[in-house]
Amino acid sequence: MKEAYLKVKNLTKHFPISNSLFRRTGFVHAVNQVSFELYQSETLGIVGESGSGKSTLGRVIMKLIQPTAGEVIYKGKNIFNEPEATIRRDMQMVFQDPYASLNPRMKVGDAIAEPLLAHHIVTGRKEAREKVCDLLHTVGLQPEMYNNFPHEFSGGQRQRISIARALGMAPKLLVCDEAASALDVSVQAQILNLFNNLKNGMDLTYLFISHDLAVVKYISSRILIMYLGEVMELADTEELFSKPLHPYTQALISAIPEPSTRRRKERILLEGDIPSSINLPEGCKFQSRCFKAMPECVYTHPPLSEVAPQHYVRCLLYPNQAGG
Amino acid sequence: MPGLLEFNNYSMGFLNDEGQVINMMDNVSFAVQEGRAVGIVGESGCGKSMTTLSIMRLLPNNAVVQGGVINFQGTNLLALSQESMEEIRGKDIAMIFQEPMTSLNPVLSIGFQIGETLQRHQPALSKAEIKEKVIEQLRMVGIPNPEKRYSQFPHQFSGGMRQRVMIAMATICHPKILIADEPTTALDVTIQAQVLDLMSKLKVNGSLMLITHNLGIVVEICDDVVVMYAGRVVESGSMVEIFDHPTHPYTRGLFAAIPTLTHNQDELYTIPGSVPVSTKFLPGCRFAPRCTQAMEHCYTQVPPERELSPSHLVNCWLEFEQRGEG
Ligand SMILES: Nc1ncnc2c1ncn2[C@@H]1O[C@H](COP(=O)(O)OP(=O)(O)OP(=O)(O)O)[C@@H](O)[C@H]1O
Ligand SMILES: Nc1ncnc2c1ncn2[C@@H]1O[C@H](COP(=O)(O)OP(=O)(O)OP(=O)(O)O)[C@@H](O)[C@H]1O
Ligand code: SF4
Ligand SMILES: [Mg+2]
Ligand SMILES: [Mg+2]
């Protein structure tokens, strides 16, 4: 049995929405009753279309926003009842847009040194400078770049800088939110390899959020598929691709255009648009677009069930097998 | 065979603060044949959008055409008067932009905006005829309830629907060539699949120039491929030739760097370094500083164009094996 590093239990985040008169008119159901365990040293990929709640899930787990309900158990305690400091060093986040998270008027070396000094990881400027040069080297940048400003770097280099900044805290868990998505293909490959090398070298655990299933397949050992704030499927990467069970997962895999001239299996074309997460359907959230929907899907909300060892699916096509 | 649309040694650049022109696109040559779909691929900044804007004569103010011609049906577009160009734009050559929201007017109804294009190019049509044609067009691109949707506004449409509206607008005059610049980049995969399906159904009616950085989309839609790097064409040919025998060191690197669903690699191939900015372009091969096979003269002399097969050209100093018709 693998050891759970983090336990996410029924995590829910609803954002209130108001009209122009500041009257509350409803809720965006960004994350709904999400539960999973994150294992020590694994890379768990989180995939889903725009608005499915991936970033919100990441931000709640990082304690950057409060959940509406649910718990995240870390070292035996619910992090939402603990002070900020208990998790901040162990968990760091890398975002999509490295430019937005770097101060344009601060030398990148100082930007990396800042949290090190604030958290007393180093004492004094000299030690900070040495540590920063180490970190720059770790992420494949030259230490001489210490004195440069963010605008003097390319997108890929800036992403390396924000990774260096996160690594300075010697985190155990890194939440990467679309951390390679804005990069060009050739640079994306460099950053993905960097993530893999760091993981092996520093025994990191990753939560890797991306809308690109091919990227997630490459980097993850397990994959969690989200749709309208819910977990639709969770399985080992190999298993998910060889035996995708949820119709949404099947459609998603088939929809990815592959750069090869070999004939591929027919594409599953989903009809309609992704519904808004304000007025959620009552039954299965995927029901309005599902190509296998049955009459009961309209009113019965399927539970997430373990249909094979370590393979979870939320779909009425699969009766709960491991539950009994 | 002369193409419907042809770039012949076309070069353009940008004026810098000192009033000098810094070259960007250099001696670009390729052709879009009648009834075929051409994919233009390459990483950010390689000049894909400048290629399309050059055809439409919609280049930014500081851009300067440095030489060459862009022929459309044998006429050099660069030499046309503004009025003749107006006449061609939207009618014979139509374009779909990456971000549909910025190219739709938020305060005008969808029906009016599509109808406007039709009215401009076919002034003899009556109001009722225009409305009928617009509704028919909306139905064709798969908008449910087109009669109701006709009078709605852009914000009432989802991203995928807006892109369908753009396709409807661009194709209503049955253009001879449709230019689509990253038409699905802003869309989710399952919605992208819907739009790609629509585009491949439409493509039977004319030529298509598809700009994308997604090689998977090229396979779905395109017959021919042009690979660009730093303002130059480095490799071009039929889609099957390029995908089955990628030859230029950059093309090969690009293919190997992409994680795909079918390949199981431990480590992704990486092209060292990053794309240069135009002020740092070398006089020789612009890819040389990142090329693992570069030779001394690669840095100083522009690589020659070599024909690998009748449907495959590559611009590189390396010696390659010739192949027969692929
Ligand atoms: N601060 C907020 N206030 C209100 N609604 C929000 C807020 N943050 C996110 N949402 C909504 O919550 C839902 C989930 O958003 P989230 O950003 O988590 O999705 P995502 O899966 O990360 O999407 P993307 O792939 O586009 O990044 C969306 O409907 C979004 O509009
Ligand atoms: N107005 C301008 N002045 C100076 N340089 C410009 C201007 N517009 C574009 N460029 C430069 O011209 C080059 C080509 O730009 P272009 O927009 O054609 O790239 P692209 O291949 O379409 O990239 P992307 O995939 O990011 O859309 C880029 O290096 C860009 O920085
Ligand atoms: S010309 Fe030289 S540097 Fe350029 S791609 Fe070919 S081998 Fe590499
Ligand atoms: Mg997000
Ligand atoms: Mg562009």
Pairing assessment for the beta strands A230-236 and A222-227 based on DSSP bridges: antiparallel
For residue A142, give the amino acid letter: Q
Domains of chain B: which residue ranges?
Answer: 5-92+175-322, 101-174
Q: What confidence score (pLDDT) does residue B141 get?
A: 87
Residues of chain A above pLDDT 90, percent: 60
A192-214: average pLDDT:
92
**What is the Cα–Cα distance from B324 to B41, expressed in whole angstroms?**
25
Answer whether B326 contacts ligand 2 (Cβ < 6 A): no
pLDDT-derived band at B115 (thresholds 50, 70, 90) equals very high
Q: What confidence score (pLDDT) does residue A261 get?
A: 87
Instruction: Name A94's bridge partners.
Output: A176
On the question of pLDDT at B69 being above 80, the answer is: yes
Task: Report residue B235 as tokens.
Answer: 């490799």
On the question of pLDDT at A324 being above 50, the answer is: no
Whether residue B64 contacts residue B41, with contact meaning beta carbons closer than 8 Å, is answered with: no
On the question of pLDDT at A98 being above 80, the answer is: no
Length of chain B: 326
Instruction: Name B180's bridge partners.
Output: B96, B210
On the question of pLDDT at B284 being above 50, the answer is: yes
- Ligand 1 neighbours, Cβ below 6 Å, are A 15, 28, 30, 48, 50-56, 211, 277
Distance of CA A37 from the midpoint of ligand 1 (Å): 22
Residues of chain A above pLDDT 70, percent: 95
List the one residue out of B218, B239, B232, B260 whose CA is nearest residue B41: B218
**What is the Cα–Cα distance from A235 to B165, expressed in whole angstroms?**
38
Q: What confidence score (pLDDT) does residue A80 get?
A: 94
Residue that the structure tokens 């924000």 belong to: A162
**What is the Cα–Cα distance from A31 to A206, expressed in whole angstroms?**
20
B176-195: average pLDDT:
88
One CATH from 3.40.50.300, 3.40.50.2300, 3.50.50.60, 3.40.630.10 for A4-90+177-266: 3.40.50.300
Q: What confidence score (pLDDT) does residue A2 get?
A: 74
On the question of pLDDT at B265 being above 80, the answer is: no
Closest in B190, B213, B218 to A185, CB measured = B213
Instruction: Summarize pLDDT for A62-80 with one digit per residue, the tens.
Output: 999 999 999 999 989 999 9
Average pLDDT, chain B: 91
Instruction: Summarize pLDDT for A252-280 with one digit per residue, the tens.
Output: 999 988 888 887 668 898 988 888 878 78
A287-311: average pLDDT:
95
A215: contact with B, CB 8 A cutoff: yes
For domain B5-92+175-322, give the CATH number: 3.40.50.300
On the question of pLDDT at B326 being above 80, the answer is: no
Domains of chain A: which residue ranges?
Answer: 4-90+177-266, 98-170
Task: Between A185 and A98, name the one with better pLDDT.
Answer: A185
For residue B311, give the amino acid letter: S
SS3 content of chain B, % helix, strand, coil (to 5): 35, 25, 40
Q: What confidence score (pLDDT) does residue A21 get?
A: 65
pLDDT-derived band at A323 (thresholds 50, 70, 90) equals very low
A187 contact residues in B (CB cutoff 8 A):
274
Report pTM. Answer: 0.90
Best-predicted range by mean pLDDT (A102-106, B40-44, B63-67) = B63-67
Distance of CA B277 from the midpoint of ligand 2 (Å): 10
Task: Between A272 and B98, name the one with better pLDDT.
Answer: A272
Q: Is A26 helix (H, G, I), strand (E, B) or coil?
A: strand
Answer whether B316 contacts ligand 3 (Cβ < 6 A): yes
Whether residue A301 contacts residue A316, with contact meaning beta carbons closer than 8 Å, is answered with: no
On the question of pLDDT at A33 being above 80, the answer is: yes
Contacts by residues B196-199 (CB-CB < 8 Å, ≥ 24 positions apart): B196/A257, B196/B220, B196/B221, B197/A267, B197/A269, B198/B141, B198/B142, B198/B164, B198/B167, B199/B167
pLDDT-derived band at A22 (thresholds 50, 70, 90) equals low
Residues of chain B contacting A, Cβ within 8 Å: 43-44, 158, 160-161, 188-194, 196-197, 213-220, 239-240, 243-244, 253-255, 257-262, 265, 267-271, 274-275
Q: What confidence score (pLDDT) does residue B60 get?
A: 93
Residues of chain B above pLDDT 90, percent: 68
The residue to mutate among A11, A15, A276, having the most atoms of ligand 1 within 8 angstroms of its beta carbon, is A15
Give B279's DSSP letter.
G
Distances (CA, A) of A79 to A76, A182, B35, B316: 9, 31, 61, 58
Helix axes B249-257, A185-202, angle to 10 degrees: 50
Instruction: Name B8's bridge partners.
Output: B69
On the question of pLDDT at A20 being above 70, the answer is: no
Q: Measuring from atom 26 of ligand 1, which residue has the nearest CA? A: A50
Please indicate whether, in this complex, the C-beta atoms of A50 and B269 are within 8 angstroms of each other.
Answer: no
Beta-strand runs (E) in B80-167: 93-96
